[in-house]
Structures are given as structure tokens and as C-alpha cells.
Structure 1
Amino acid sequence: MYTLSNNKLEQQPPSAEEAKKSAAVETIQQLGQTATPSGESNIFCMTIIGQIEGHMVLPPQNKTTKYEHLIPQLVAAEQNPKIEGVLIILNTVGGDVEAGLAIAEMIATLSKPTVTLVLGGGHSIGVPIAVASNHSLIAETATMTIHPIRLNGLVIGVPQTFEYLDKMQERVIRFVTGHSQISEEKFKELMFKTGELTRDIGTTVVGPDAVKYGLINRLGGIGEGIRELNRLIEERRNGQSGGLMQ
């Protein structure tokens, strides 16, 4: 709003009603809804969707999650005393291996309780992220694709290239088997299986099978995920108070 003062046009601050209308319009534009849930929470929810973008910027039509956005969020959640737990929701096709491993290591090294929930899919490098938390859940209809490391672009046909690929693959295998109940033999069997995927080596694991193999802790959805996180938060509170009493 503008008013005329001393022959000058001055902008007046918006009224409370105008600010409310502006916020409502912005909410519709950004989220496609007229109202958002309000109230502070002690849980930080982080979503990893689409393709995990690494050092190369993907085309604008791709739905991506940028790892340079997630890492500062996790650091902030770790430092914020009001945040007592982190819920990570995945629906990802995978992406850059090193970026995915960086996110997984960040989640695994948080001091606060963490729960991961795979909805839709947690494929490729999304598998290490899914198992990086204190407790992992997967929806009954969700899937996880386990396959060997792949290279894009120019590949130099020398022994060092294959040694590098093998070392990178071992990093993924070691992380997954170290943060879940699946054995190395079983994980490698799923990774190198032929005949199941039409154009690739590997296996697509559905929710119940992921639990059966020990890859994910149990089946569940958002309600179970929040309940489990609250339980872990309560355990941490009791542990800290017990330590103080001693």
C-alpha cells in the first residue's frame, strides 16, 4: 500500500490481514494447499526424493535432491537443542554414489535418534541411506533395487578403472552390511543376480523381502516411524537423566 506524504509516495507496511492473505497465496503456490500444519515439533523431518544429485548438475526437468542442501540441514539438526530426533523419508531412484554415501555417513554419525522410512522406492545408492539410521522401516509396497556400481560418460579401459570400481563397490557393501542385519554373502548374491532385471544385473527387493533378508528392520508407515522415533527419544532422555543421577 502507498500513501502520499509531503508530495512523496511512501510505501506503508502491509496490514496483518494483507500479510495473512499474502502468506496464504504463497502457500498455495509452493505447496498446493490452503493451510499448513502449525506448531513446533521436536522431530526434524528430511525428505530424499527423485535423483540424488552429486557433483554434476542434472537437467532441470529431473526431480532431484541436492546433497549440498541436505548436509547443512543435518548439521543444523545436530546442533539445535530443540530437535531431539530426525525422521528421514525416502522415495529415491538413487544417483551419485559419493553423494549418497556422504548423506548416509552423516545420518549414521548423528548423536540424536534417527529413523528412516522407505516409501515408494529406495533404490541403488538409496539403500545405504535407508540402513544408516538407528531404526529403518519400509512400506509394504515399496521396493529397493540392489545392483553393482555403474559408470557414466567416458571410461578409460585400463586395470586401474576396474580397481577403482571394485573399491567403490566394496565401500557400499561394507556400509550396508555394517548398518543392517543382512550378510555380505546374501547382499552380494542380490547385487550380482542375473535374469531378474530386464537390462541389468541386480535384484528388486519388495518391502516384506527387505525385512526377511535383514536389510530393513520392519514393515511400517509414517505412524510407526514417528512412534519408533519417539520411543528412541524417550530412551535417550532416560539414559541422559540416568547418567546425571549416577
Structure 2
Amino acid sequence: MEKDKETKATEEREGSQVNQNVVDFGSAMTKTAHGTVYTLAIIGQIEGHTAAPNGTKTTQYEHMLPLLAKLEESREVDGILFLLNTVGGDVEAGLAIAELIAGLTKPTAAIVLGGSHSIGVPLAVAAQRSFAVPSAAMTIHPVRMSGTVIAAPQTYNYFQRLQERIVAFVAGHSRISAEKFQALMLAKDDMAADVGSVIYGEEAVHLGIIDQLGGLREGLDWLYRKMNETRG
């Protein structure tokens, strides 16, 4: 009887922790027959060194970086599922998150739901396997910066080098070439008031940016297979 009470208390604590994680980080840890899956949402604007305005949905990189490091080190987590619906945001913060995701050794899958725009594109391809639902959208455009810009050659050189880092990352973690991705960035016919491209789920797969068309079922099926292979 006493053991039943302890078990119930433990389950209640674990349930409370899961609910708090969903509120605080948009995350949840689920134990399955294949192992434990940690699901993490990357939503809204990627917030970097400057706080976003009040009322803006954000993914904060100072939360994401230590959390990802913790997941890599955790003995409890067997696989990680990323759910993406982001408008983009701080370029360097987004690239830092993407680099850390790419460095994870545990099985990782990412599903683009809604959109994964701008710096969200590197985030989408950083996982070991990327998926996109047919209605998903991805906006690809050159690096932009807000605020005061010094009109000097060094500033434009910095923009160019930052853009080259993004192009190299996407090409290195997907099947699209750097040249083709750069061409999508600079396309003139797809966006009314800017250069760049807007592509959707099936087209993203055809271009080689995303690995596979699919949603939650396909993402979890792949993740379960990889987790089973890893376990042995």
C-alpha cells in the first residue's frame, strides 16, 4: 500500500514536470516502447542578443543552447524530435542553435509545420533527417539587418561572409548545392518587394533542401528506427 502511494506520488511529480516543460520550453519527454523521445518546439521569432517586443512569440537561444547540451549528455533521452514553425529572427543566434543541433550524436528528426523561414532554413536541415508537411513554407532570402548600418565596404563584406556561412551550412546538411541555394536567395521573380524565394513542402524536397515529405507519423517512424538501430 505504501509502495503504491510512492509510485503515485512519483508519477504525479513527473506529470507536473512534463506540464511545466511544455509551458516553459514548448517541450515534452515521452517514454515509448522504442525508448524516450524528447520533443522540442522551435516557434515564433528566434530571439538573439536583443529581446523581442512584448507579445512576440519567441525561441530564446540562451535557453536552447544549454538545453541541447543537456539532452546530448542525458542518459534518459534516446532521440530528439524538433517541431518547427518559425518566422526566422536573429541570424547568429539561429545559426548557433543549428550548429548545436547538427552536433548532436543522438538520433534527431525535424518536421517543418507551418513555416521555417529565413534563418529557420538552417534549423530545418540541421537534424539528421528533415521532414516537411505539404503545406509548409520556407522563405529563402539574403541576410538582412535592422538598425543603423555603416555604409562602408567592411559592412558589406561582413554581410557577404555571414551569408556565405549560411549557404555553406545548408549545403553541407542537405542535398542542395551551394550554387543552387544561392540562386534561390537572389531570385527576383518570386517576391514582390524583395529578392529571394518562397518554396513549399514538396518543392523543398524536390530541390534537396528537405529530405522527405511527411508529418508527425513519418518523423516518429524514422526516429524510432534510428533509436532501435542505436540501441542495437
If the length of structure 2 is used for normalisation, what is the TM-score?
0.86
Please tell me the residue identity of whatever aligns with 2:129. H
Distance in 1, matches of 2:231 and 2:208, equals 28
Check if 1:195 corresponds to 2:186: no
Secondary structure of 1:76 counterpart: helix
Check if 1:123 corresponds to 2:114: no
Counterpart in 2 of 1:81?
A: 75
Tell which structure's C-alpha radius of gyration is larger: 1
Please tell me the residue identity of whatever aligns with 1:40. K
Secondary structure of 1:40 counterpart: strand
Distance in 1, matches of 2:47 and 2:96, equals 12
Counterpart in 2 of 1:216?
A: 210
Query: Kindly, what percent of the aligned residue pairs are identical?
Result: 48
List, as ranges, runs of 4+ consecutive aligned residues in structure 1 with deviation greater than 2 Å: 37-41
Counterpart in 1 of 2:60?
A: 66
1:73 CA drift (Å): 1.3
1:38 CA drift (Å): 9.3
Q: Which runs of no fewer than 5 residues in structure 1 stay unpaired?
A: 1-15, 32-36, 239-246
Cα distance per residue 1:24-81 (max 9 Å; x no partner):
9xx7xx87xxxxx996350111100000000000111111110111111111111111
Count of residues in Structure 1 that have an aligned counterpart in Structure 2: 209
**Matching residue within 166, 169, 181 for 1:175:** 169
Counterpart in 1 of 2:145?
A: 151
1:102 CA drift (Å): 0.5
Check if 1:207 corresponds to 2:198: no
Counterpart in 1 of 2:86?
A: 92
Distance in 2, matches of 1:38 and 1:146, equals 32
Distance in 2, matches of 1:205 and 1:222, equals 20
Check if 1:107 corresponds to 2:92: no
Counterpart in 2 of 1:8?
A: none
**Matching residue within 125, 133, 143 for 2:127:** 133
Distance in 2, matches of 1:40 and 1:196, equals 44
Q: Which runs of no fewer than 5 residues in structure 2 stay unpaired?
A: 1-7
If the length of structure 1 is used for normalisation, what is the TM-score?
0.81
